[in-house]
Amino acid sequence: MAGPAHQGGYDVVVLGGGVNGAGVARDCAMRGLSVLLLEKRDLACGASGASSGMIHGGIRYMTSDRNVTALASRDAGYIRHIAPHLTFRIPFLLPFASQAEGSRLLDRVTWYATEVYVGTYDLFQPLKGGKPSVRLSADELYRVEPGLRPGLHGAVTLDEWGIDGQRLCLLNALSAADHGADVRTWTEATSLVREQGRVVAVRFRDAVTGEHGEARAGVVVNATGGWSPQFGRSNGFQVPMRPGKGVHLSLDRRHGNYGIICTAVDGRQMFLMPHEMESIIGTTDDDFFGDPDDLDATADEVAYLVDGAASLVPSVREARITRAWWGVRTTLFEYGVEEDDLSRDHRIYDHAGEGSAGLLSFVGGKLASYRAQSEELTDRVAAMLGKATLPCRTHEVPLPGGDEVPSPRELAARHGIAEPVAARIVFRHGSLAREVLRLVDEDPRLKLVLCRDEGILAAEVAWIARHERVRRLQDLRRRCRLALGGCGGLDCARPAAQIVARELDWDADRLRAELSDLLEAGWRERRAVLDGWQLAEEELLRAVHRGLGGL
């Protein structure tokens, strides 16, 4: 059962711990509704965790409705406000390339149009703390980014925000829990219970303990993203969507501080952009009809992305690719349309007509708009419940740790740790970094830096295990990038597992099983990109974890 506090059931049961599920759970909980969030794996395991990690201002909507752009930009500003520590600025370059020798009139018109378009977007930039665009001449462009291929004619720049999408998801769920929601990860909704054409309860199964349970619900929100069609089919309702597989590649470090918009071999736009401490190349977009639980990056997807990025930045071929990762995005259903032309809009489906009153499905949308989408969804939920609720405050109440960004230098000095390590902790935890580092005063052993590749401190692992709803070791991939860097967990996987095991009271067999699971996930993401030094690293990893560890 889901807890004694809610024997009478919940106002809302949210299915899916992606950014929409976590966002709507937070909003509902903050408005005073009782909420249960069920996620079959971990938070941000699907498309939210595999997104490009951008909070953009909706530049592409200026051609259809500038009010949408204004709303999107304002919302980006809100996210900056509630989670300032998780965001970072990404200046983009949109280089001007010509198909012909020299520059033709048509090219020049196109470039001017681009400049005007991005320049018009500048009107919205103040809403999100963005900077105005700039047009660079060819010479200027090569001074700003000397790694670009020759023959370009200049560029315009565009200012956007990057974010740690996985922690954004987590913080929404933690905030929901702080406001009274029950958040259950690794708990799968197995079926819906109906009475007289109404969905009245959700049955679920805890994948870690094997326990079954049932929770009564006033409204059920299906936010299972790419899993929706499957879940709908097995539960007697239909969720129309066009799922699309998107693959990204990570480089082991920032290739530069500026994102670069490139054109892929098939003419699609793609990018190479700095993201946290990496650069990422993205993204593919292909219709996906398979099982979202069984994905891999294929050889052609890897080649497509590398070739596309190298067409403008040849030096990426020398860079070390550490992993390929993927997700299934949910786009609205349309027939006879190219993947790229599908709307990135969202829709809420009410399944009352299918004998499932009280069930809403959320489809589509973007990470950047999650807050506004959640607000809209919560409004619908509240209306269906017919309950008077508090007003929405998700745009003004900071997420956990988002109230202040402490100075890494100060924290490093106070607690006697290295400043880069403190900086990483501040990035991930915001003002809660103070609490994280307080642990090293109590136990100086926690000053041990476990991962010299990602700057993961033992204290951070202990903190996360205690306070961030860790149920499996692999949850730390999304909480603090454990074993996600180029080293794949060579230094840190075992000691981090030991600390988590101590905190969560796992025995040695459980610890080994969790370690195996963590390493297997890393292997799946690396195997398609093993080349150069990453392949040498893999040899070491294999020697340690399989050869020595018997894992």
Binding track, positions 236-265, relative to another protein; x by CB under 8 A = ----------------xxxxxxx-------
Least Cβ distance, residue 15 to another protein (angstroms): 28
Q: Is 56 in the site for another protein (CB under 8 A)?
A: no
CB neighbours of 222 closer than 8 A, spacing ≥ 6? 15, 16, 228, 231, 232, 239, 359, 360, 361, 362
Binding track, positions 437-456, relative to another protein; x by CB under 8 A = -------xxxxxx--xxxx-
Stretch that binds another protein, among 298-306, 348-356, 388-396, 471-479 (CB under 8 A): 298-306
Return left, alpha or beta for 418; rule: phi > 0 is left, psi -120 to 50 is alpha, else beta: beta
CA angle 23, 27, 33 (to 5 degrees): 130
Stretch that binds another protein, among 73-81, 165-173, 276-284, 372-380 (CB under 8 A): 276-284
DSSP category for residue 357:
B
Q: Are 285 and 301 in contact (CB under 8 A)?
A: no
Q: Are 330 and 229 in contact (CB under 8 A)?
A: no
**372-411 positions binding another protein, by CB under 8 A:** 405, 407-409
Tell me which of 136, 192, 199, 483 binds another protein, using CB under 8 A.
136
Q: Which is nearer to another protein, 38 or 519 (CB)?
A: 519
Q: Which of 267, 359, 348, 344 is nearest to 304 (CA)?
A: 267
Q: Which is nearer to another protein, 14 or 281 (CB)?
A: 281
**Bridge partner residues of 132 (DSSP):** none
CB neighbours of 140 closer than 8 A, spacing ≥ 6? 154
Which amino acid is located at 448 in the chain? L
Least Cβ distance, residue 8 to another protein (angstroms): 43
Least Cβ distance, residue 294 to another protein (angstroms): 9
Q: Which is nearer to another protein, 178 or 291 (CB)?
A: 291
Burial class of residue 147 in the structure, from the number of CB atoms within 10 Å of its CB (0-12 exposed, 13-18 middle, 19+ buried)? middle
Tokens matching residue 92: 């983009």
Least Cβ distance, residue 541 to another protein (angstroms): 8
Least Cβ distance, residue 393 to another protein (angstroms): 23
Torsion on CA atoms 110, 115, 121, 125, rounded to nearest 10: 150
Q: Are 16 and 292 in contact (CB under 8 A)?
A: no
Q: Is 36 in the site for another protein (CB under 8 A)?
A: no
Which amino acid is located at 67 in the chain? N
Least Cβ distance, residue 120 to another protein (angstroms): 5
**159-188 positions binding another protein, by CB under 8 A:** 159
**492-551 positions binding another protein, by CB under 8 A:** 494-495, 498-499, 501-502, 507-509, 511-512, 515, 519-520, 523-524, 527-533, 535-540, 542-551
Residue with tokens 């997807």: 301
Q: Which is nearer to another protein, 91 or 243 (CB)?
A: 91
Gap between the Cα atoms of 460 and 428, Å rounded: 10
Give the burial string for 336-357 (b: 16+ CB within 10 Å, else e): eeebeebeeebebbebeeeebb
Least Cβ distance, residue 503 to another protein (angstroms): 12
Neighbouring C-beta atoms of residue 112, cutoff 10 Å? 14
Q: Which is nearer to another protein, 178 or 443 (CB)?
A: 443
Query: How many residues make contact with another protein (CB under 8 A)?
Result: 118
Q: Which is nearer to another protein, 44 or 319 (CB)?
A: 319
Pairing of strands 242-251, 321-331: antiparallel
**206-235 positions binding another protein, by CB under 8 A:** none
**475-494 positions binding another protein, by CB under 8 A:** 486-487, 490-491, 494
Least Cβ distance, residue 488 to another protein (angstroms): 9
Q: Which is nearer to another protein, 178 or 410 (CB)?
A: 410
Least Cβ distance, residue 324 to another protein (angstroms): 9
Tell me which of 223, 273, 302, 360 binds another protein, using CB under 8 A.
302
**110-129 positions binding another protein, by CB under 8 A:** 112-113, 115-117, 119-120
Least Cβ distance, residue 433 to another protein (angstroms): 13
Least Cβ distance, residue 133 to another protein (angstroms): 9
Q: Is 150 in the site for another protein (CB under 8 A)?
A: no
Rounded alpha-carbon distances, angstroms, from residue 245 to 47, 258, 301, 366, 523: 9, 26, 10, 15, 20
Tell me which of 82, 199, 319, 464 binds another protein, using CB under 8 A.
319
**331-370 positions binding another protein, by CB under 8 A:** none
Q: Which of 539, 548, 486, 540 is nearest to 515 (CA)?
A: 548
Tell me which of 14, 273, 421, 425 binds another protein, using CB under 8 A.
421
Q: Is 291 in the site for another protein (CB under 8 A)?
A: no
Gap between the Cα atoms of 55 and 274, Å rounded: 14
Beta strands, E only, 34-184: 35-38, 54-55, 87-95, 135-136, 155-163, 182-184
**89-108 positions binding another protein, by CB under 8 A:** 89, 91
